[in-house]
Chains A and B, each alone.
Chain A
């Protein structure tokens, strides 16, 4: 299994500002995924990030709002731009396991926008 860390673990931000979340994996992986989990809800996939190419965004998510970087095979960042209170969520990064389609998740970043 992969060990994933995220920074920051939580943050409280003001409306209109941006926050960049970092995700570090202890092994090289092809694909990394970013999810959002709104309070009391399930996980919603934001985008898939491949190293060396543009991230692929799911319906309802756009690059201007959630720019993603993937500079190498162990690291990715997600920026939440021009935040509003509706962006208050837990943001999780994940990677696919080596054997099959199971995914391993980071601990999440709990974001509160005031």
Chain B
């Protein structure tokens, strides 16, 4: 079963712009992760943020987590055409180690 919702479902931006994707979830979590999937490279783990963290950076990626609102956001700065992919948030379980994925956001970066 899926944890929650992501918005927008689809996003189209010009190269160089920033892209923001949001994720909401329903139950308490240990951590939240973001993954990228494109046809060429499969599903790749991008970043993990723990429930006691509020913000995390990795290169051009910035992730925030608001556990009071049960939501997270992924910001990709200075987007590139190669960032075109589907992005999924996923929550880690508190009981044992299974990861549940949200519905995803399809990002298109136009050169």
A-B CB contacts (within 8 Å), total count: 55
Cα A43 to Cα B96 in complex, Å, equals: 18
Q: Which residues of A contact B33 (CB under 8 A)?
A: 101-103
Residue A107, interface by CB 8 Å: yes
Cα A42 to Cα B1 in complex, Å, equals: 10
Residue A66, interface by CB 8 Å: no
Q: Which residues of B contact A92 (CB under 8 A)?
A: 43
Residue B25, interface by CB 8 Å: no
How many A residues are at the interface, by size bracket? 20 to 34
Q: Which residues of A contact B98 (CB under 8 A)?
A: 33, 45, 48
Of the candidates B30, B48, B88, which one forms a contact with A42 in the assembled complex, judged by CB atoms under 8 Å apart? B88
Q: Which residues of A contact B88 (CB under 8 A)?
A: 42-43
Interface positions, chain B 16-70, Cβ under 8 Å from A, are: 30-31, 33, 42-45, 48
Cα A59 to Cα B98 in complex, Å, equals: 13
Q: Within the complex, what minimum Cβ distance (angstroms) separates B43 from chain A?
A: 4
Say whether B99 contacts A41, CB under 8 Å.
no
Q: Which residues of B contact A41 (CB under 8 A)?
A: 103
Q: Within the complex, what minimum Cβ distance (angstroms) separates B81 from chain A?
A: 22
Cα A58 to Cα B96 in complex, Å, equals: 13
Residues of B near any A CB (own CB < 8 A): 1-2, 30-31, 33, 42-45, 48, 88, 90, 92, 96-104
